[in-house]
Structure 1
Amino acid sequence: MASITLVTPALADANNGNWQTARRWAQLLGDAHRVDLRAAWRAGDPAGALLIALHARRSAPSVAAWPADRPVVLVLTGTDLYRDIATDASAQASLARAQVLVVLNRLGADSLPPALRARAQVVLPGLPAHAPGPRPQRWLRALAVGHLREEKDPRTLWAAMRLLADRPDVKLDHLGRALDPALGTGAEALAQALPTTYRWLGDRPHAEVRRRLARAHVLVHPSRMEGGAHAVIEALRSGTPVLASRIDGNLGLLGRDWPAVFEPGDATGLAAWLRCLRDTPRLWAELAALAAQRGADFAPDHERAALHALVARALSATL
């Protein structure tokens, strides 16, 4: 049994993917190791045999302070992979320090510098399956899940709903806190303009999000950058189809051949997909069957095995 320090810049009050990953990993590793879960590690704090740090940039001070003779596992987020590691010196220093680089989608390592790809290990999040819930027959119930910030691209979602103003049988509920106040204002304005088809419901407890995902016809996920979105995986584990932007962070979960994709920022393409799913029940059924099939890749046992393997790899690393 080893002592592991697990650092995440987001704790429970953030209610985001980083916290969900950290909380779950602490539980999965806790049956074989002692896990100290904290927001940061500073020189003088108790140090485990291994540091697992989420987020190359935001956890950079913890990585830099960690004892030089002990290994580091760095878990890369979407903003790490698709922005920060190309421009931010502290994120780049975290990459150089880590013995193992974890990516949460199958295409994540493609964004690493070639010299570092041998250090990469894919760990797909593992989440419980949920049985699909009752879905309305008279309209398409779409759902969007994600705190309101530019990376999630809510404006494309809103533009698509404006294009569907003539379709009262396509309704969308939008879950997530307004991390950007201007985007919160935009969500409120659209909810007032389209009161019968668009609702912004704000932040919601995780259990409620899961229930809503299981009862939705489709998850709409228009992000411009993602590391491995829990909402996408939770939809698949509920047999709920996903309409996703064509970015590596989404295709690395759904598969390169996932049919229901649109280009980032393409509100017209997204609106066309929503119309098609409402008007073509057979297509929706085919996507739901494919979602259930792909969801099997995200079973908790798979994540547990991969996680314990990477810890063993890191603990045996030669520094």
Structure 2
Amino acid sequence: MSTRPRIAIVSPAAASDNNGNWQTASRWARFLDKRFRVQVMGAWPGADQPEPDLLIALHARRSAAALAAFCEHYPDRPRILVLTGTDLYRDIDTAPEARTSLESATALVVLQEAGPERLPPRLRARTHVIYQSAPALLPVPDKNRRRLDICMIGHLRLEKDPQTFMRAAGLVHDPRLRLLHIGGALDPALAEAARSTEQASPRYRWLGPMTHAATRQRLKRCAAMVIASHMEGGANVIIEAVTSGVPVLASHIDGNRGMLGNGYAGYFPPGDADSLARLLDRLACDPDFDALLRRQCAARAPLFAPGAEQAALCDLVDNLLRASAT
């Protein structure tokens, strides 16, 4: 019988959701599987299941019940809480169960370097920054393109602010620009806005949901990727753009700043479609600006290497298991 420690990963998202939380849970399970027995679950299944030696819970509010149950059944076993986005930038201020999760975790993980700033100073000593990762893909050369595709990737929901991207489609001037949105409709009103924008602007297309693999293939053929979110914990789509050699235009929020760096040249104010449109036109017409963004993204790419993420995760798990055994 295997003596490998058993790890439970609780994710509020399932494979069918095809979102950032699921991508994180799935990738971490793969990273840990060779050294540990790993089970990914949507909720804490109860004490009648095989006993985990360590719990990884994604999202402070949505996994709060699972984290609390694990604490009750195994108070001396280590617990990692991964703050993935809306919990870090909203729920810990508004939801008591999210604040309880912070206190009950043995270790906290944030997904970009600005994340610890959102936590009380007394919690930062047990907070670890683990950048997520994606395999590198070769970009498609775009020197002689007659059309410049710009993509936004993410389900249609308010936190992602897809309407700023839609409005920008009616404000850009370069005739080569085409704005493509990939993602499912989680908000019916935003789905209707996307359909209306398609009718009003020939530059805008809503492609709907796509598989993760198909999305990456579409992304690597784009001239740039836009992330317009009001809040992010550490967006996978930024990583996938950077590791595909695709420059990013990003809303200037903490979660994006922590991914791309303080001096990044491709920021625009959240919700400001005019500023986004000007950046898109500049990207299309100014080769020096395009080259600058590509250099800055390339400089961040080593942070998002799969080997770096796996090493950081395994080191944290090993250290917590070792400490709990003493």
Task: Pick the TM interval, shorter chain.
Answer: over 0.9
Distance (Å, rounded) in 1 between the aligned partners of 2:314 and 2:177:
44
Residue 185 of structure 1 aligns with which residue?
192
In the TM superposition, residue 33 of structure 1 has moved relative to its aligned partner by 0.6
Residue 67 of structure 2 aligns with which residue?
63
Counterpart of 2:54 in structure 1: which amino acid? L
Which of 199, 211, 217 aligns to 1:205? It is 211
Counterpart of 1:137 in structure 2: which amino acid? R
Q: Is 2:58 the counterpart of 1:51?
A: no
- Provide, for residues 170-212 of structure 1, a one-character-per-residue CA deviation record: whole Å limited to 9, x for no partner: 11110000111110111111011112x1100010011111111
Counterpart of 1:312 in structure 2: which amino acid? D
Counterpart of 1:246 in structure 2: which amino acid? H
- Provide, for residues 107-134 of structure 1, a one-character-per-residue CA deviation record: whole Å limited to 9, x for no partner: 1111011211111001111210000014
- Contact 1:240/1:292 (CA < 8 Å) preserved in 2? no
Which of 20, 27, 33 aligns to 1:30? It is 33
Q: Please list, as runs of the form range in 1=range in 2, the aligned pairs for 1:1-319 lying within 5 A after superposition.
A: 1-44=4-47, 45-66=49-70, 67-135=74-142, 137-164=145-172, 166-195=173-202, 197-317=203-323
SS in 2 for 1:96: helix
Distance (Å, rounded) in 2 between the aligned partners of 1:256 and 1:162:
29
What TM-score results when the alignment is normalised by the length of structure 1? Answer: 0.96
SS in 2 for 1:163: coil
- Provide, for residues 217-259 of structure 1, a one-character-per-residue CA deviation record: whole Å limited to 9, x for no partner: 1001111100111110000001110000011111111111111
Distance (Å, rounded) in 1 between the aligned partners of 2:218 and 2:249:
16
Distance (Å, rounded) in 2 between the aligned partners of 1:283 and 1:48:
50
What is the RMSD of the two structures over their aligned residues, measured on CA atoms? 1.4
Distance (Å, rounded) in 2 between the aligned partners of 1:258 and 1:223:
17
Distance (Å, rounded) in 2 between the aligned partners of 1:168 and 1:198:
12
User: Mind listing any 5+ residue stretches in structure 1 that lack a counterpart?
Assistant: none
Q: Matched residue pairs, number? A: 317
In the TM superposition, residue 288 of structure 1 has moved relative to its aligned partner by 1.8
SS in 2 for 1:228: coil
Counterpart of 1:180 in structure 2: which amino acid? D
In the TM superposition, residue 318 of structure 1 has moved relative to its aligned partner by 5.5
Distance (Å, rounded) in 2 between the aligned partners of 1:103 and 1:313:
17
Distance (Å, rounded) in 1 between the aligned partners of 2:295 and 2:267:
16
- Contact 1:73/1:99 (CA < 8 Å) preserved in 2? yes
Distance (Å, rounded) in 1 between the aligned partners of 2:158 and 2:288:
34
Seq. identity, %: 50
Counterpart of 2:44 in structure 1: which amino acid? W
SS in 2 for 1:191: helix
Runs of 4+ in 1 over 3 A off after TM superposition: 316-319
Distance (Å, rounded) in 2 between the aligned partners of 1:12 and 1:97:
27
- Contact 2:174/2:284 (CA < 8 Å) preserved in 1? no
- Contact 2:133/2:236 (CA < 8 Å) preserved in 1? no
Counterpart of 1:8 in structure 2: which amino acid? S
User: Mind listing any 5+ residue stretches in structure 2 that lack a counterpart?
Assistant: none
Counterpart of 1:49 in structure 2: which amino acid? D
SS in 2 for 1:64: helix
